[in-house]
Amino acid sequence: MKHTTFVQLLDLAVGAVLVTSFAALWLRRLATVTRVIAIQGFALAGVAAVIGVYEHETELIAVSVMVAVLRGLVLPGLINRTMRDGDERREVESLINIPASLLAAAVLTLVAYTATRSVVALDDSAQVRAMPLGVAVGLIGILLVVSRRKAVLQIIGVLMLDNGIALVMFLGTSGVPLAIELGVASDVLLAMFILQVLTSRIRTKFGGTDLDQLRELRD
Amino acid sequence: MNPTGIAVALLQAVFVIACAPLLVGWTRLVRARLEGRVGAPIRQPWRDLRKWFVKERMVSEHTGWVFALAPLVLTGSAVLVAALVPSLSTSSALDQVGDLFAVVYLLLLGTVALSLAGLDAGTAFGGMGASREMTITAIAEPTVLVAIFALSVSAGSSNLGVIVADTLSRPSAAASPTNLLALAALAVVTVAETGRIPVDNPSTHLELTMIHEAMTLEFSGPDLAMIELAAHVRLVVFLTLLANLFVPWGIATTAQPLHLLVAAGAVLVKLTVLATIVATVEVFLAKVRLFRVPELLAASFVLAFLAVTASFFLA
Amino acid sequence: MLRLLRTILRAGRATEPGPSADPSLVLPSHAGRLRGSLQVRLVDAGSCNGCEAEFAAAFGPVYDAERFGVRLVASPRHADALVVTGPVTRNMAVPLAKTWEATPGPKLVIALGDCAKDCGVFAGGHGVHGSVSDVVPVDVEIPGCPPSPDVIVAAMRRVAGG
Amino acid sequence: MNTTEAAFIAMAVAASAAVAAAIVLPARSRVVWVGVFTALSATAGGVASLAVLVGGDSFVTVIPDVFPLGGVRLEFDALSALFTFGTALVAVPAAVYGIGYSGQGPSSRPAQAAWPVLVWSVMMVPAAGNAIGLIALWELMALSSTVLVLAEHHHNAEARRAGQWYVAMTHLSLLAIALALFILVHQTGGESFAAMRAGAANVGPVAASTVFLLALVGFGVKAGVVPLHVWLPRAHPEAPSHVSALMSGAMVKLGVYGLLRVGWDLLDGGPLWWGAVVLTVGLISAMFGILHALVASDLKRLLAYSTTENVGLIFVGVGAAGMFAASDNRPLAAVALAAALLHVLNHGAFKGLLFLGAGSVLTATGTRNLDHMGGLGRRMPVTAATFAIGGMALAALPPLNGFVSEWLLLQSLVHSLPSEAASVAVAMPVAVAVVALTGGLAAAAFVKAFGSAFLAMPRSAEAEAAHESPFTMRTGMIALAGVCIALALLPTLLANPLERAIAPATGIADGAPISTNGVYVHLAGIQAGLSPLMLTLGLLIGVVAVFAVVRRSRARSTVRDIPPWGCGRTLQTSRMEYTATSFAEPLQRVFDDVLHPEIDVVVDHHTESRHYVESIRYHSETRDGIENRLYEPLLAVARRWGDRARSVQNGSIHRYLTYSLVVTVVVLLVSQ
């Protein structure tokens, strides 16, 4: 696999991850947002696969398959199950309107670039040059968690943050040993379960997963 | 602790106790004569004491051992102070035992004992007397100690014998501003501590105006005799302090009988003069309102304070 | 201050020669040990203050009972004799009895004036409880309404054994 | 392995046995065994300090790597021995007393376990030989005393508030002390006291003064001197009585120890104004403390305020010593310091005794308010007698030990005058005046406390039903009274221990301040003599002679059990007595511009006509002046900032998440 095709493929995959995170911010219907996150999972797996193939790391390829299964299929499935038994409207409600979210995401990307400028200067390989995007995806994940009212979207935000970190991991190091990836994966899985239980608990208590209702708990 | 020293100390105690009632008798006589009356003879206080000693002793139901012990402690401390104060000679054995501070605190012990007995009686008057007595004693304390400070600065020590000897050796020091100011301060304190006219009226009948007298309302018979004797001895002790610390001439510095006799004569003359002054002050001045007394004592404190600063800047 | 000094010097002694002790008064046996020192506590058991005025005059400069060793004291505990004036009113019966109990022995009661002796002009009055002897044992009675100071001083002198 | 080392080991073993007993044993026997073991531990401490004070040997050891940073170094010289001896004097009787007192009071496990730890740590703090050791032991002492102050907080809200004040103030003091020590370690380069002394030369004047002021603040809080005293009248009354006896008697003195150790041993003395600052703080504390003690009608609060007064007097002694040393009048400085140290021992003894007495009264009547007591002298003779002895010592009355140390202090102040330092010439007369006034007011406070608690008729049902306290409490009190009398009659025995104790304070000491030939006390360089033994003898002879004369002539009988003379009133009840509030009213009126009492008189008339008064209620309360003029504003500012900060936390999850986002971004940007 030649270097130029590797660079193009890599840029394509990372670009896909970034675009999906912007899409998650932009879309209104929850169902489509979940699907977008699934796509982002696959894109992430793609990045891992491309790097694995180029550097002939069989272990990395195994990791990318696991990422594809976990982040592409299992976790979005879980999110869908959380949404299914709620009867509330599936619309996305947000503290700041959509254009403002997109603008904020842009600013965060700029921040990511300035923050990782010293790291990028270290080595001019394709992976390292793409790293700021990983950080940007993580920051956008946090933005998603911060600005959305629904508990489900917060879960999606956390997942996106984790994808961003995983992306930085793949790009930064020349692949991650399988054990660490397994560890991270299990953590994420656990987080998902907890959030899922929490959301159902909030729904039973407040009849909706709007987090502002938690405000009454304050003394 | 040589035997002659002890003998001198005992002699001084007996001398002060013997002539204390007579001096109080003399004060009452002078006061009577100034008021145009004949007045009781000088021996009258002794007659009263002798009569009280044989009267019944009445102890009210709620009093405890404090009521019984207080007259003894008061009189005991008065007797000890009488022995300590150099009325006849400076060579008494007690010179190293206690100094001017010890004398002041022994008198304070007597006042505290009497105040506690006043409270123990459980009557309103006893409590009122005790509270006022302790208030005045507490406020008079700084004046006494700062006056002693002034005296001991010029004499170099607070021991009674040393102060007297120092004034004897430097006659000019007797008229120095330090001594005069300290004398004035101690004079005011003498009136306050022994309950004479400007501060407290010893011969009043209205309980509400009493300070020292109110505490003794509950005592009778021998207890009352002891308290009256102690009051007389304390007055004479204060007057002796005023006399011998500021005008010590005539006091014996050795223990020979002849010197002691001369000293006795000299101190008696001085005490009579002071007693006369006390009596005339009582006739000419009226009793001060209770809450004006702190101002009077504050004025005397300022005198004592000036005495100290004078001793430093001028000496 | 000087004005007072001038009056003192001008006035000189105001006391007149005192009356001798009144021999007619018979004293109880236990009164003997006073020997020239008599502490007196005045108890006004309802008098019209006539006797008080005379009694006070007895201690004034002119009659000066103090020269015979007689002194007024504030508390019955200090007193040897209770001088009671006036008929004993209903309210003063108990306090008079309590004062008498509070006086240490050997003690005397001197009924001053006719009222104290036999209720005098107030005899049979509504508020009157009785004469002094109905409440406390009386030793000496000084008649008169009010008795003049020299009579009082003579009696005092007799009681004091002067 | 000299006696001191053996005694230290015995002290630690006994203390740990006591803690074990407290945890393991059931309630009934736990109290007994904890008391016994704590008493043993305290005795061991006493033996150790006596071995150093009298025997003259010293004791230095290092316990390596107890803490990650380094080992704890113990250094037990004569100065620390004196303070440990003072603690032991109070701790042994207090431990015995605790057995009886804890039976009814705090016998819970934590309280019983904290008590031996407190005793052990109070005795060990003077033995600390390096910065870490001192801070660790200081913190252990603070924690164990906090547990004990909070021992009765379940049914006493006031104890909880007192606990809060106490914890806040002690940790403020810990902070100051730690800061001072760290600066010192940094400047002198050495971590142990010995190294600090060696490096003391290259500590600049500015650094030395900052360290001194920090130490003054830190140790001043623990000593309870005026601006920092606010916790003392709150915490001591709430702690169980035998604990507040130890706290007032010994723990408060560690403030003085610390100041002496840092100011005049490690820093080897300083300029004149050091002494002047300590003297001024002492004078203000003495004055402020005794005035508030006078108007307090809560017995233990009165004693707590009088602790501030006595610590003020000790600070006056130390300050005067500092000033004399700075104006190089060394012999007089030694006398002043000897007076301060002697007062440390004396105050420990009589204040401990008074608190034990107060505890005994509290258990008997269930109240601390002097106005509701009365007549306890006949119902609790032993408590009354011992309280009288302690009170007379508090009022510095001649036959007892309070007088000896007050006399020594006055001598040192009085003989200062022909000195060329102008500030000394001005300060000393003021000092004598204030010491004298506090002496007089202390006598009034004693008469008020003893008079309204123990004399005349009981003024409440509880006082009426009071009965003497159990055997162990009485033995504790009698033992401590014995200590007071021993200290009073034999200060001559303390002459050379005091001389040894002064030696370490190199900034002040030289020569023997007190020389004695068994009976007389002579002061070096001063023509002043006192013989407490002969004075007491003279007093006894005087009293016995008077008694003999009176008894011989008492021909007549004594009439007993008659009503007191009350102007012939028909009924003489206890409502006519003078209570503590009425006793202090004249003095309160004289000093009202200092105390600012809040007095309210409520007169309610009969409904029919205004001329007939049904009842009059008089209530006067004196709040702590410093507290509501200095602390309240500070707390208000803190509260205002707190409220503003609270608005940040308004319950919205989103706002919290935004904070995390913002922080992440900032960190990323900043960490270039």
Boundaries of every domain in chain D: 137-536, 574-621, 626-670
Domain hosting A183: range is 3-217
Does residue C30 sit at the D interface (CB-CB below 8 Å)? no
Do the bridges between strand D613-621 and strand D598-605 make them parallel or antiparallel, or are there none, so unpaired?
antiparallel
Tell me if D447 and B112 make a contact (CB, 8 A cut-off).
yes
Strand partners, D72: D63
Query: Residue D105 has what pLDDT?
Result: 64
Q: For chain A, where are the alpha helices, taking DSSP H only?
A: 3-26, 30-54, 58-67, 75-84, 98-115, 117-122, 126-147, 151-172, 178-206
Query: A24: which residues sit within 8 A by CB, 6+ positions away?
Result: A33, A36, A37, A40, A140, A144, A156, A160
Query: Residue B290 has what pLDDT?
Result: 86
B226, B74 in Cβ contact below 8 A?
A: yes
Which residue of B158, B295, B303 is the best one to mutate when testing the D interface, meaning the one whose CB has the most D CBs within 10 A? Answer: B158
**Among D122, D168, D172, CA closest to D144:** D122
Distance CA D459, CA D443 (A): 23
The structural domains of chain B, with segments of one domain joined by +, span 3-314
- Rounded mean pLDDT of D506-524? 66
Distance CA B212, CA D71 (A): 65
pLDDT in tens, D46-74: 998 888 888 777 778 887 777 766 778 88
Closest residue in chain B to residue C61, using alpha carbons only: B37
Distance CA C64, CA C72 (A): 12
Task: Annotate D621-653 with b (16+ C-beta within 10 A) or e (fewer).
Answer: ebebebeeeeeeeeeeeeeeeeeeeeeeeeeeb
Distance CA D519, CA D512 (A): 17
Q: Is the pLDDT of residue D571 over 80?
A: no
- Rounded mean pLDDT of D189-194? 83
Distance CA C162, CA B163 (A): 47
Of B191-205, B269-283, D116-130, D136-150, the least confident: B191-205
Flag whether C140 is in a domain: yes
Tell me the whole-structure pTM to 2 decimals: 0.83
Q: What domain count does chain A have?
A: 1
Tell me if B132 and D447 make a contact (CB, 8 A cut-off).
no
Of C1, C15, C69, which has the smallest distance from its Cβ to B37's Cβ?
Answer: C15
Q: What domain count does chain C have?
A: 1
Q: Where residue A88 falls among pLDDT bands split at 50, 70, 90?
A: low
Residue given tokens 């044993």 in the structure block? D25
**Among D121, D181, D173, CA closest to D145:** D121
D98, D115 in Cβ contact below 8 A?
A: yes
D86, D253 in Cβ contact below 8 A?
A: yes
Tell me if C94 and D570 make a contact (CB, 8 A cut-off).
yes
Q: Is the pLDDT of residue C86 over 60?
A: yes
Query: Residue D525 has what pLDDT?
Result: 62
Distance CA D458, CA D573 (A): 10
pLDDT in tens, B169-180: 888 777 788 888
Could you tell me which chains touch chain C, where touching means 3 or more CB pairs under 8 A? B, D
Distance CA A51, CA A4 (A): 13
Q: Is the pLDDT of residue C67 over 70?
A: yes
Query: Residue B304 has what pLDDT?
Result: 87
Could you tell me which chains touch chain D, where touching means 3 or more CB pairs under 8 A? A, B, C
Q: Helices A151-172 & A75-84, crossing angle to 10 degrees? A: 170
**Among D341, D127, D125, CA closest to D222:** D125
Contacts of C73 in chain B (CB under 8 A): 205
* D284 vs B159, residue with greater confidence: D284
Of D650, D651, D657, which has the smallest distance from its Cβ to A146's Cβ?
Answer: D657
Task: Annotate D429-444 with b (16+ C-beta within 10 A) or e (fewer).
Answer: bbbbbbbbbbbbbbbb
Q: Where residue D512 falls among pLDDT bands split at 50, 70, 90?
A: low
Q: Provide the 8-state DSSP code for C38.
A: E
Report percent pLDDT > 70 for chain D: 95
Tell me if C71 and B40 make a contact (CB, 8 A cut-off).
yes
Which residue of B55, B59, B211, B280 is the best one to mutate when testing the C interface, meaning the one whose CB has the most C CBs within 10 A? Answer: B55
Phi then psi for residue D618, to 5 deg, are -115, 125
Tell me if B218 and C77 make a contact (CB, 8 A cut-off).
yes
Q: Is the pLDDT of residue D530 over 80?
A: no
Query: Residue A216 has what pLDDT?
Result: 67
Q: What integer best gives the mean pLDDT of chain A?
A: 81
pLDDT in tens, A119-161: 877 777 777 888 888 888 999 998 888 888 777 888 888 889 8
Q: Give the tokens for residue C118.
A: 């036999």
Distance CA D130, CA D136 (A): 10
Q: What integer best gives the mean pLDDT of chain C?
A: 87
D451, D392 in Cβ contact below 8 A?
A: no
Q: Give the tokens for residue D22.
A: 């407290």
Query: Residue D391 has what pLDDT?
Result: 94
Q: Is the pLDDT of residue B54 over 70?
A: yes
Q: Give the tokens for residue C115.
A: 């009222």
Query: D208: which residues sit within 8 A by CB, 6+ positions away?
Result: D267, D270
Q: Where residue D554 falls among pLDDT bands split at 50, 70, 90?
A: low
Distance CA D292, CA B309 (A): 30
- Rounded mean pLDDT of A56-75? 85
C with B: touching (≥3 Cβ pairs within 8 Å) = yes
Strand partners, D369: D298
Query: Residue D258 has what pLDDT?
Result: 92
Q: Helices D272-295 & D205-223, crossing angle to 10 degrees? A: 20
A with B: touching (≥3 Cβ pairs within 8 Å) = no
Q: Provide the 8-state DSSP code for D60.
A: E
Q: Is the pLDDT of residue B198 over 60?
A: yes
Domain hosting C98: range is 36-160
Distance CA D589, CA D215 (A): 37
Does residue C16 sit at the B interface (CB-CB below 8 Å)? no
Q: Is the pLDDT of residue B301 over 80?
A: yes
Q: Is the pLDDT of residue A89 over 90?
A: no
Q: What integer best gives the mean pLDDT of chain D?
A: 86
Distance CA D109, CA D613 (A): 54
Query: D636: which residues sit within 8 A by CB, 6+ positions away?
Result: none
Q: Is B277 exposed, middle or buried (0-12, 13-18, 19+ CB in 10 A)?
A: middle
pLDDT in tens, D356-396: 999 999 999 988 899 998 889 889 999 999 999 999 999 99
Diameter of chain B measured on Cα atoms:
59
Query: Residue D511 has what pLDDT?
Result: 62
Element (H, E) at D102: helix D78-104
Q: Give the tokens for residue B137.
A: 């004693």
**Among B117, B207, B68, CA closest to D456:** B117
pLDDT in tens, D594-634: 888 888 888 888 888 888 888 888 888 888 777 778 888 88
Q: Is D360 exposed, middle or buried (0-12, 13-18, 19+ CB in 10 A)?
A: buried
Residue given tokens 């729904």 in the structure block? A203
Q: Give the tokens for residue D394.
A: 């508090």
D423, D324 in Cβ contact below 8 A?
A: no
Query: Residue D532 has what pLDDT?
Result: 82
Tell me if B123 and D562 make a contact (CB, 8 A cut-off).
no
Tell me if D668 and A142 make a contact (CB, 8 A cut-off).
no
Q: Is the pLDDT of residue A87 over 60?
A: no
**Among D45, D54, D51, CA closest to D95:** D45
Distance CA D588, CA D550 (A): 39
Q: Is the pLDDT of residue A218 over 80?
A: no
Contacts of A142 in chain D (CB under 8 A): 657, 660-661, 664
A74, A189 in Cβ contact below 8 A?
A: yes
Q: Which amino acid is at C3?
A: R
Contacts of D562 in chain C (CB under 8 A): 101-102
Q: Is the pLDDT of residue D421 over 80?
A: no
Q: Is the pLDDT of residue B264 over 70?
A: yes
Q: Helices D495-502 & D330-365, crossing angle to 10 degrees? A: 110
Rg (C-alpha) for chain C, rounded Å, is 16
Selected residues 133-152 of chain B with any CB under 8 Å from a CB in chain D: 134-135, 137-142, 144-146, 148-149, 152
D279, D313 in Cβ contact below 8 A?
A: no
**Among C47, C121, C53, CA closest to C89:** C47
Q: Give the tokens for residue B85.
A: 């104060």
Of B60-64, B222-226, C20-24, D457-461, the least confident: C20-24
Tell me if A218 and D653 make a contact (CB, 8 A cut-off).
no
**Among C109, C121, C28, C53, CA closest to C76:** C109
Phi then psi for residue B175, to 5 deg, are -95, 10
Of A95, A111, A146, which has the smallest distance from its Cβ to D668's Cβ?
Answer: A111
Query: Residue D500 has what pLDDT?
Result: 82
pLDDT in tens, D78-133: 889 999 999 999 999 999 998 888 776 667 788 888 999 999 999 999 998 888 88
Distance CA B202, CA D173 (A): 54
- What is the dihedral angle through the alpha carbons of D298, D299, D305, D306, rounded to the nearest 10 degrees? 150
Residues of D with CB under 8 A from a CB of A: 649-654, 657-658, 660-661, 664-665, 668-669, 671-672
Tell me, rounded to whole angstroms, the distance of Cα D285 from its chain centroid. 12
Q: For D415-491, where are the alpha helices, taking DSSP H only?
A: 422-454, 461-464, 471-489
B149, B310 in Cβ contact below 8 A?
A: no
**Among B13, B191, B176, B154, CA closest to B87:** B13
Does residue C143 sit at the B interface (CB-CB below 8 Å)? no
